[in-house]
Amino acid sequence: MVGLALVVATGLMMFTAHATEFWTNPAFVVKMSLIVLAGLNAAAFHGGIYRTAAAWDVDVPPPPRARISAAASLALWLGVISGGRLIAYL
């Protein structure tokens, strides 16, 4: 939670310093869209399949819905990182 708070605070400071540049940058739009999708994925995971986590058998792979959510999370956050890096070049 501390890391998220720091990232949000520094991101807001950076955005306020360059708002007009970022607002028209396609990489920034993609990054913000992916952040929203990642948040929705996390909310769906915690509100759905994770509620049954206590009953999961630890000797077998997690349920397919949990694995799909994890893969989606990794892909979305890699996209967020890539979008952030591309902001400087577009």
pLDDT for residue 1 is more than 90: no
- Number of other CB atoms surrounding residue 5 within 10 Å: 9
pLDDT, position 4: 86
Q: Which residue has the tokens 């990232």?
A: 7
Cα distances from 34 to residues 51, 59, 78, 84, in angstroms, run: 24, 33, 9, 11
**11-43 per-position pLDDT tens digit:** 999 999 999 999 999 999 999 999 999 999 999
Give the separation between CA 82 and CA 66, rounded to whole angstroms: 24
**Could you give the CA distance from residue 86 to residue 84 in angstroms, rounded to a whole number?**
5
As a whole number, mean pLDDT of residues 34-55 equals 95
Tokens of 58: 């630890």
